[in-house]
Amino acid sequence: MLSVHTSPLHQPGTGDAGGMNVYIVELASRLAAINIEVEIFTRATEGGLPSSVELAPGVLVRHIDAGPYEGLAKEDLPGQLCAFTHGVMRAWARRRPGHYDLVHSHYWLSGHVGWLAAERWGVPLVHAMHTMAKVKNASLASGDTPEPASRVIGETQIVNASDRLIANTAEEADELIRFYDADPARVAVVHPGVNLDRFRPADGRAAARARLGIPQNAFVPLFAGRIQPLKAPDILLRAVARLLTDHPSLRSRVHVPVVGGPSGSGLARPEGLQKLAASLGIADVVHFQPPVAQEALADCFRAASTLVMPSYSESFGLVAIEAQAAGTPVVAAEVGGLPVAVRDGDTGILVAGHDPADYARALHRLIADPALTARMGEKAARHAESFGWDRAASATADVYAAALCEHRRRVRSVHV
């Protein structure tokens, strides 16, 4: 596996670490459990790191030196792909011939390294986009920076070079075909999973609130993720401000945790969200927290009344499934893979568009009817059970098998 721009060892929720990190860690671990050994190549982001780290039995993370350890923005990484590829090839040269059976690259930067590695090693390339420039640019948040043309060109090249493309949802598969002219026969849909051992209702909302110091009678709309315009945490704050303007008696009950750190274009204004809360007059109800480890995040989900995801674009939205697995309904934008992750009116509420007033109405619907919140939470936990990582790993293994079979057939036909 290749993950150039973010390490699976990094804490999700800040910098460039997010759902993709969780995806790679969980998928690799479950693949190893079914006897598919995985080596993950990633860029070293600090000095003194060991050349390799065992992430789980059968899963090795390899650190590659490529560019400065710190202070290198993701936008500058294309200039380091040659150095990264050189490091991957040096590691490969120490292995016996035929050591790697297949390359699975994640995100477009890794795809370019994977393209070269797969050709050099004579193995198939499986690629997962995770996000796509053309899709993101079609639904940019106000003031956000569009993805550059170089990324669009790079993604198009990777689509053409890949033996198989893994899409999170049928909609993402359609986008690959519509925007990038992908061959439908080479696109496979594999829903991401959720760690059902970690994200579960456990001992319930009351116990989680007691551990986190959240009042038992509070209404708690939670934002959890990277702080950047794409994820639209500002819409939650504006919705809360609208809710309290329309229903001022609720102020003493509303408690809004925002869990995450600045990322992407959000790094240009790291204090922007705190300033927005103050300007909206809701600084007293909004509680900012840094990213937390997965076990602590599960407790945050259990303590919340609802998770709010007003994103402008999501290839899937792992946190939506994680929150539901913990028994918490989700209020989310009706974009990308979120309509797959959330069953509208059943396990949460989907909102068309990004008008804070619409989110305020959705929040009021839940706060006015606690029984609805409880029913949705119970259904959400059952819904999430169908998204286990074991199923995702099995489906991914099937994609690998198909890619290998087709690749061998193609090689044989060349030699005949």
Pair 88, 80: CB distance under 8 Å = no
CA distance 50 to 200: 34
Residue ranges at the known binding site for UDP-N-acetyl-alpha-D-glucosamine = 11-12, 19, 226, 231, 292, 314, 322
- The annotation places the binding site for Mg(2+) at 301-302, 304, 328
Residues making up the annotated binding site for 1D-myo-inositol 3-phosphate are 5, 16-21, 74, 107, 131, 151
Numbered residues of the known binding site:
5, 11-12, 16-21, 74, 107, 131, 151, 226, 231, 292, 301-302, 304, 314, 322, 328
Tell me the torsion sign for CA atoms 55, 59, 60, 66.
Answer: negative
Half-sphere exposure (Cβ direction) of 125: Cα atoms closer than 13 Å: 27
**What's the number of CA atoms in the CB half-sphere (13 Å) around residue 224?**
30
CA 30 – CA 393 distance, rounded (Å): 6
- CA-CA distance, 223 to 233, in Å (whole number)? 7
| C-beta separation of 362 from 246 below 8 A | no
The three-class DSSP label of residue 99 is: coil
d(CA 299, CA 306): 13
Burial class (CB in 10 A: 0-12, 13-18, 19+), 125: buried
- Report how far residue 412's alpha carbon sits from residue 325's, in angstroms, rounded to the nearest whole number: 46
CA within 13 Å, CB half, 329:
27
Residue 141 has φ and ψ, to the nearest 5°, of -70, 155
Residue 133 is which amino acid?
Answer: A
Q: Looking up tokens 């150039």, which residue turns up?
A: 4
